[in-house]
Structure 1
């Protein structure tokens, strides 16, 4: 290796170190942890009416024996009072209609809050103002819904596709790689639109890759944790909600961390933006 090659290598290494240090400082300065906590809270709240809607749909589509089977399947995770509530929702026609209408309203409201919170968090990272027009909110909400839904489909699709190859070497790595790339592609539109700045596709790629790889590893970590500690019912419903809240918080942290990475590498925040 010549002296010129060593110099170029040192310059590249220094750039990487400076970029990582800037990302760390910006994560603290932008209070990304607090933004991720707010995202996790609103996402967790939006899951509750979604769960009720699933019970309502179950009651409409299934006959009474199957509805009873659903109630018996979930009662081990619920308190007696919660089990009676689920049974009423699934089996009683009048209660199903009331619960479905209420759940739809709450689900739409909480979902909009999640997307607005995420949009505001991206804007806070970039130092821009989030779009407040109805059209822009609908557009951003549709993009976020597609991105998250597609990422979830990628996770479950990969689990189903690779489920029969558990004994084949390197299958676990192939599954993690495919999930990472699929999630990164799903997140790419989100990283282009939410910052409310003009940017090219390639500028959004690093953050999307970070979020995609991070979500894939996070999924594998939680699956491994549950397999080692047993089913989450060991900790009851409260423990299950805590575990879900932790997952949502870490997922939000990765999403917003990707935004910080893109902003730093794009020279929009940090020392390069000054």
Structure 2
């Protein structure tokens, strides 16, 4: 019976941990942060692949470039690989190298900045690290992420080249999470502020390693399925499908990494890591007696025990009886302070009226205006893409000039519409001013 109760308690604790992780993930907007990281990772990944192929071709010729391209099977579909080959075969290697290098550096810096922002937000750090520490941590993260990608590519290439049996392939799949966990461990260790121990960040690194292994397996299964079926859907969606698939993979990979951070923070909160157990209510926790138990100050028992333990004999001796006149004076001062606080406290009806006026003014001010610039941008993008697709030469240049002028004119129309809406708001503002004056 006791073993069953213990097992039920462990299951309940695990379910509670999962619920807290899910709640914290939602509260910290982890999916939004992961989207930013995935975008910048994609911006830097494709130029980095182009740069790697250019360097491989320059150093080892087409043979080394073929090996590098074959090693990217785990992260690129056949359409993505074909896009890389077409980019290199179109000429202009020097320009492609320079642009790829700049985009890779810019995207990598933004990825590190996004990850650092996510760590600061999830850990709730008040002060971020210095510039020097951020650069050092970014270098460590670059090595760890590069090692993780390299481990995935090398492991998949080795298993595919050796044509091993099912047992050895399963062994390779079991080894990959450990390799990825070791690659992610420096990132989880160096990014938090203040510093944490390796033991505290190990669960998140293991979670990320297992999660990325599952993502890699799913991606590889999808690629194999498309290859076996003739790639009909890949040909249907073309480059757009390859880009969407890669961005989706990076997005879920970033979510797994950031959820690993949430796991570390949740486990640290459960254990009280990083908080002073003797400080009352520190970090949203109740006051404790220094031994993990709650302070029993309702009837003075906990405070009395604390006094017996930490106060000297002289401090515990009873002093003379208090002066009643002095107590009356202190009570009068306390009542005066309370009256002053009541005078400065905003009454609920007045606060509600003020909030209603503010909400009405903001609704009128923001009504039907936020979408204006987006419509202008969509208009210009759609027509510009059409000009690129169906026009050539001077016709395309003329069409782009007309699009620029028409987009500018459309923006002017939206500005004039905004001015008209401001004029419509004048009566409402006047009514709010009269109501405010009557309320005073």
Please indicate, yes or no, whether the TM-score normalized by the shorter chain is above 0.5: yes
Deviation string, structure 1 residues 207-247 (Cα, Å, up to 9, x no partner) = 11110011111101111111112358523111111110011
Distance 2:214 2:172 in 1: 11
1:199 aligns with 2:196: yes
Q: Which shifted more, 198-207 or 246-255?
A: 198-207
Distance 1:22 1:168 in 2: 41
Distance 2:166 2:5 in 1: 41
Structure 1 residues 167 and 11: CA distance shift in structure 2, 3 A: same
Partner residue, 2:258:
256
Q: How does 1:73-88 map to 2 (within 5 A)?
A: 77-78=82-83, 83=86, 86-88=89-91
Partner residue, 2:7:
9
Aligned-partner SS, 1:88:
coil
CA deviation after TM superposition for structure 1 residue 60, in Å: 3.5
Preserved CA contact (<8 Å) 1:165 1:171 = no
TM-score (norm 1): 0.82
Structure 1 residues 49 and 162: CA distance shift in structure 2, 3 A: closer
Distance 1:23 1:59 in 2: 46
Aligned-partner SS, 2:11:
helix
CA deviation after TM superposition for structure 1 residue 35, in Å: 0.9
TM-score (norm 2): 0.53
Partner residue, 1:57:
55
Partner residue, 2:240:
238
Correspondence for 2:267 among 265, 268, 272: 265
Distance 1:30 1:21 in 2: 14
Preserved CA contact (<8 Å) 2:79 2:234 = no
Structure 1 residues 127 and 66: CA distance shift in structure 2, 3 A: closer
Q: How does 1:55-134 map to 2 (within 5 A)?
A: 55-58=53-56, 60-61=58-59, 77-78=82-83, 83=86, 86-90=89-93, 96=94, 98-129=95-126, 131=128, 133-134=130-131
Correspondence for 2:207 among 210, 214, 231: 210
Structure 1 residues 131 and 269: CA distance shift in structure 2, 3 A: farther
Larger RCO (CA within 8 A; separation ≥ 6): 1
Q: Which shifted more, 20-29 or 261-270?
A: 261-270
CA deviation after TM superposition for structure 1 residue 21, in Å: 0.8
Distance 1:273 1:157 in 2: 46
CA deviation after TM superposition for structure 1 residue 123, in Å: 1.4
Coordinate RMSD, CA, aligned: 3.2
Structure 1 residues 220 and 199: CA distance shift in structure 2, 3 A: same
Aligned-partner SS, 2:193:
coil
Structure 1 residues 144 and 11: CA distance shift in structure 2, 3 A: same
Aligned-partner SS, 2:92:
helix
Deviation string, structure 1 residues 63-116 (Cα, Å, up to 9, x no partner) = 69999xx9xx9999349xx947752223xxxxx1x4433332332122111111
Gaps of 5+ in 1: 91-95
Aligned-partner SS, 2:165:
coil
Distance 2:116 2:168 in 1: 36
